[in-house]
Structure 1
Amino acid sequence: MQMFNSYVMGIHWRVWVAVLPCTIAFFQLLRAFIRFFDFVWWTPKQHAVVAHKQGIRGPPNQVLLGNVMEIKRLRESVPDDLRAFRHDLTLQQLLPDNVLWTKLYGKIHLIWWGTDAHIVLTDMDMLKEVFSSKHMLSLGKPMLLTRFLQPVTGIGLVVANGETWSHERRVIGPAFHSDKLKGFVQTMVNLTLNMSESWVQTLSKHGEGEIEIEGSMNELTSDIIAHTQFGSSYKRGRIIFQLLEELKEFINKYGHLLIIPGVRYLPIPAFMRLRKMTTIVETSIQEIIMERRAAVKAGKKSSYGADLLGLMLSECERIGEDKKQPLLTMQQLVDECKTFFFAGHETTAQLLTWALLLLAHDLTWQERARTEILNFCKGKLPDFDSISRMKTVEMIIYETLRLFAPASSIVRSALCDMKIGDLYVKKGMCFWIPIAAIHLDPELWGGSVYEFNPGRFADGISKAAKHPMAFMPFAHGPRNCIGQNFALIEAKAVLAVLLTKFSFTPSPSYRHSPHLMITTRPKYGAPIIVKRVSSSQH
């Protein structure tokens, strides 16, 4: 009998050994299914109900992808060539989906990026609240945007949320104060002079010829950010830049798929290449950081340096000594370097490209800018003090940013249930703010909205439009672009050099087609007729 009982108990034990893993696996699968069901259907359904109850409608939502494929189709179907350098069709070129759905569903309407509900918002009073410090920690960036940008920016300041964002901003912010950026102006000027010399070599014996400006501005701004971010390690920074360019092209091609959770980890050649390039970029940046820290620790250098990386490391050390705040982790430093490398060159390159195109088509403003630069520089190279006084050049930059803001939209995600004005949103719902639509709104900018008129900024940004916050290329409030001072100083320095050495006129081969490829770019490049300006002409 005892043997029988032992036999039965043995059977029971073996059954439990067999059944228990299956039970655990079943509940894990059930949990995964419930999370997937919630992600794909239940939460989007609740968000749609909240929007519909408030009278907010939009195009039909496709499961998992939302309106992404329709947006992609609409943006690919716009005319390739406007045949004239005109700005009344720019919004149609960049955001045809916004133009169409605003007509169908009103200025406030609902669109879906993947499973995220985005309320399109252009009401300036509501936007004032969105950008206010009141919602500094309760509004952030959605996870889908993080998945989209992560290959080129990492999870840095651009996509960080809550206390993580607040801490990183406190640590990094001082590195971007104007007084810290003064020392970069000479580097910016010298690198622009080097590019000018290469242009002179390519021009004809008459000192005139066609130059593809976009490519030149990309190379110049990448050189500037490599020198100013990594200092003496700029050559390695250039290699990082080349890889980030490949990653950017990958996002342009496959970005609509990156919003699907886990897709980047599939064993598909394209995504395997993505993971490999990301690893190389991050490893290269880590090596630069570790070498810099090791040199200071060993006493080979007395400081981390005056470049952006050195300023960030110095600020980290200062906060570390305080012991009240945690240091940035290595991964956070790497992500910030990726963010500033990409954003610091890409956005300024497009700003300079469009500025030169606009000036080539408006010789009056080009000459006004040239005269101002010569008056302030008085035969010397531009420096921080002289470019700080160049109001005409500044107005031209602002008007360029209005007509062709590098980023066409801003996204904010509700990190908790909240109200904006009379609008109620649940946690996870987003606000989609179409910068291009606001910058080209006749109700805000008047009848001359489609004209290139830098003079509208003569009395400052807040008085340029009918609402003081209508100009938002760098966003507003606590979460505005931390690198805006750097970008404006760089753009001024480059224009101050180029406009005293060259004049610019339209090229017959230029095809005007503003196109959204992460940033606003000329789809077919930017060829311009460049002519040397002799000193005797001034």
Structure 2
Amino acid sequence: MAWLEFYGGLAALLLAAAWAVRMLNWALWQPRRLERILRSQGLKGSTYRPIRGDVKDIVRLNEEAWSKPMPSFSHAILPRAANFLSRDVQTYGKENKVTFHWMGPLPRVLIADPDQTREILANKTGEIGKGYVNYMIRYFLRGVVQHDGEKWAKHRKILNPAFHIEKLKRMLPAFSSCCDELVDRWEMMAARGKEVDVWVDLQSFTGDVISRTAFGSNFEEGRKIFQLHDEQALIVAGALSKSHIPGYKYLPTRTNTRVETIDKEVRDILLSIIRKREESMKSGNAKNDDILGLLLESNLQHRREHGNAGLTTDEMVEECKLFYFAGQETTSLLLTWTMVVLSMHQEWQERARQEVLQTFGKEKPTFDGLSHLKTLTMILYEVLRLYPPALGIPRQVLKSVKIGNVVYPPGVLLFLSVIRMHHDPDYWGQDVEEFKPDRFAEGVYKASEKKAFFPFSGGHRVCIGQNFALLEAKLALCLILQRFSFDLSPAYIHAPHTVLTLKPQHGAPIRLRRL
């Protein structure tokens, strides 16, 4: 028996040694090797600190920036919205478009060069992918945005028909109905002299639009999902500084327990909606004129053509979660920042109103008319440039790849810094921080040097919902401009900050006046 105890102890010792070597490689040797490779090719960045990297500094610097408001009419938001990214510019110089810092033991390369950004977004050969995503972020970004290769291609092919421009035309009445409810409510508040926090109301509005156009339900059925998403976003933002710690996601902390509970609640609600719709389709009572119906129809067609290779019910749920988060969050932010900016720049508000009145008068906007609103389109693009909903686009190197003059080894994180490119005077001129929609008078591609405009990502993975978002935003703004003039409340505090997306930290109180 003694020999059994000896060999048992030896096996345990070898296992412990193997585990220790693996941890040392993860926490020390591998990061040091990657750092040497990056520095040897001329890249500048912070020095690696074991395990935590720069996460603590990122959190601290952002919190310091968020503790103070900005000047009321300034659009130079980078130091406040992403203080750590701004510090990189100050530390390494604005001429360095590629730098790196540390997200735990992984180097994250910040790329603010449009040509390299396009090269990365166009990659189809497998060297670059979505790669590692913090487990907390995965609660929000699932579905097609997180897939690579053949799986991504299948999901995108099944999703595409639901976002075809001809399908969007049929959703215009639902958009219009939601808009009518919004402006009717605002008219009553304006008549009583009440200010409106448009950020709050526009979240409800875009939630209503998603509920009706995606699921054929009213906002009340989707309200619980939005409340849960808002709570989850705050929890995730507060936990990011700890979530990179090995094994942290397996601990039964209050944070982990709550985000799991929220995730399950949202899944159960969406699963119920999907199953009801599937039953209706089987009985022949379903109307396939919303996104869910079109998605189920496309999925069924895909299965007929490829056997049972369509999306599973769980995959459908993940895509629906993405509809709710991306469709509601990004469009409400675009509308909110547009109203804030037009409140600051009354001359552009009036120009947009005159264009709307000349095109539609006081009548309901039409699909064809919306597509010809040049001034309003320029305004939306300029707002997306100054206040992009997502600060950047994450990727990871899966196989060694050369980008620009640098060969990146597997494991390196890439962050395509949209907000820095959108605020870089090298691409937009010395008036980069001014609100000048005329930049886009000749279209997106002639607006800047190197075509440095990436509000909807780019390449073959360009945002599938961009036409949906722009159509919704144009219609809402038309109805608002037809019925109101507006300016900032004295209580407004200009404080863009980032909690997954770029939000107004203290809301967006605005004074509305009926026309």
Q: What TM-score bracket applies, with the shorter chain setting the length?
A: over 0.9
Go from structure 1 to structure 2 and tell me whether the alpha carbon gap of 1:24 and 1:284 turns closer, same or farther (over 3 Å shift): farther
**Does the Cα contact within 8 Å between 1:136 and 1:479 map onto a contact in 2?**
no
- Residue 187 of structure 1 is matched in structure 2 by 174
- Residue 85 of structure 1 is matched in structure 2 by 73
Counterparts of 2:410 and 2:54, CA distance in 1? 20
Cα distance per residue 1:417-451 (max 9 Å; x no partner): 11112210011112212211111111111122111
- Residue 139 of structure 2 is matched in structure 1 by 151
1:166 is the counterpart of 2:166: no
- Residue 290 of structure 1 is matched in structure 2 by 275
1:210 is the counterpart of 2:195: yes
Measure how far apart 1:165 and its partner are. 1.9
Q: Which amino acid aligns with 1:301?
A: N
- Residue 462 of structure 2 is matched in structure 1 by 480
Cα distance per residue 1:176-206 (max 9 Å; x no partner): 221121122221121111111112222245x
- Residue 131 of structure 1 is matched in structure 2 by 121
3-state SS of paired residue (1:462): coil
**Does the Cα contact within 8 Å between 2:31 and 2:48 map onto a contact in 1?**
no
1:177 is the counterpart of 2:164: yes
Among candidates 427, 433, 436, match of residue 416 of structure 2: 433
Q: Which amino acid aligns with 2:450?
A: H
1:122 is the counterpart of 2:137: no
Counterparts of 1:131 and 1:341, CA distance in 2? 24
Measure how far apart 1:174 and its partner are. 2.3
Q: Which amino acid aligns with 1:363?
A: Q
1:365 is the counterpart of 2:355: no
- Residue 499 of structure 1 is matched in structure 2 by 481
Among candidates 483, 491, 510, match of residue 509 of structure 1: 491
Measure how far apart 1:27 and its partner are. 5.8
Among candidates 256, 279, 284, match of residue 264 of structure 2: 279
Counterparts of 1:175 and 1:248, CA distance in 2? 27
Go from structure 1 to structure 2 and tell me whether the alpha carbon gap of 1:44 and 1:375 turns closer, same or farther (over 3 Å shift): same
Write the mapping of 1:181-330 to structure 2, written as runs, cut at 5 A.
181-205=168-192, 208-232=193-217, 235-297=220-282, 299-301=283-285, 305-323=288-306, 326-330=309-313
Counterparts of 1:511 and 1:136, CA distance in 2? 46
Go from structure 1 to structure 2 and tell me whether the alpha carbon gap of 1:285 and 1:141 turns closer, same or farther (over 3 Å shift): same
- Residue 386 of structure 2 is matched in structure 1 by 403
- Residue 336 of structure 1 is matched in structure 2 by 319
Measure how far apart 1:28 and its partner are. 5.4
Measure how far apart 1:530 and its partner are. 0.7
Go from structure 1 to structure 2 and tell me whether the alpha carbon gap of 1:375 and 1:122 turns closer, same or farther (over 3 Å shift): same
Counterparts of 1:21 and 1:224, CA distance in 2? 63
Counterparts of 1:101 and 1:452, CA distance in 2? 25
Go from structure 1 to structure 2 and tell me whether the alpha carbon gap of 1:179 and 1:22 turns closer, same or farther (over 3 Å shift): farther
Measure how far apart 1:338 and its partner are. 0.9
- Residue 4 of structure 1 is matched in structure 2 by none
Go from structure 1 to structure 2 and tell me whether the alpha carbon gap of 1:487 and 1:19 turns closer, same or farther (over 3 Å shift): farther
Counterparts of 1:315 and 1:410, CA distance in 2? 28
3-state SS of paired residue (1:257): coil
TM-score (norm 2): 0.94
**Identity across the alignment (%):** 33
**Does the Cα contact within 8 Å between 1:138 and 1:162 map onto a contact in 2?**
no
Go from structure 1 to structure 2 and tell me whether the alpha carbon gap of 1:20 and 1:347 turns closer, same or farther (over 3 Å shift): farther
3-state SS of paired residue (1:77): helix
3-state SS of paired residue (1:203): helix
Measure how far apart 1:489 and its partner are. 0.8
Measure how far apart 1:34 and its partner are. 4.1
Counterparts of 1:505 and 1:150, CA distance in 2? 38
Q: Which amino acid aligns with 1:67?
A: D
3-state SS of paired residue (2:407): strand
Go from structure 1 to structure 2 and tell me whether the alpha carbon gap of 1:24 and 1:150 turns closer, same or farther (over 3 Å shift): farther
Measure how far apart 1:233 and its partner are. 6.7
Measure how far apart 1:32 and its partner are. 4.3
1:57 is the counterpart of 2:41: no
**Does the Cα contact within 8 Å between 1:109 and 1:120 map onto a contact in 2?**
yes
3-state SS of paired residue (1:528): strand
Q: Which amino acid aligns with 1:487?
A: A
Go from structure 1 to structure 2 and tell me whether the alpha carbon gap of 1:336 and 1:87 turns closer, same or farther (over 3 Å shift): same
Counterparts of 1:399 and 1:157, CA distance in 2? 28
TM-score (norm 1): 0.90
Which has the larger Rg?
Answer: 1
Go from structure 1 to structure 2 and tell me whether the alpha carbon gap of 1:182 and 1:30 turns closer, same or farther (over 3 Å shift): farther
3-state SS of paired residue (2:507): coil
Go from structure 1 to structure 2 and tell me whether the alpha carbon gap of 1:459 and 1:325 turns closer, same or farther (over 3 Å shift): farther
- Residue 428 of structure 2 is matched in structure 1 by 445
Counterparts of 2:8 and 2:269, CA distance in 1? 43
**Does the Cα contact within 8 Å between 2:53 and 2:105 map onto a contact in 1?**
yes
**Does the Cα contact within 8 Å between 2:386 and 2:423 map onto a contact in 1?**
yes
- Residue 530 of structure 1 is matched in structure 2 by 512
3-state SS of paired residue (1:101): helix
| Deviating more after overlay: 382-391 vs 345-354 | 382-391
Go from structure 1 to structure 2 and tell me whether the alpha carbon gap of 1:509 and 1:233 turns closer, same or farther (over 3 Å shift): closer
Counterparts of 2:248 and 2:482, CA distance in 1? 50
Q: CA RMSD in A?
A: 2.1
Measure how far apart 1:46 and its partner are. 2.1
3-state SS of paired residue (1:143): coil
Which consecutive unaligned segments of at least 5 residues does structure 2 have?
A: none
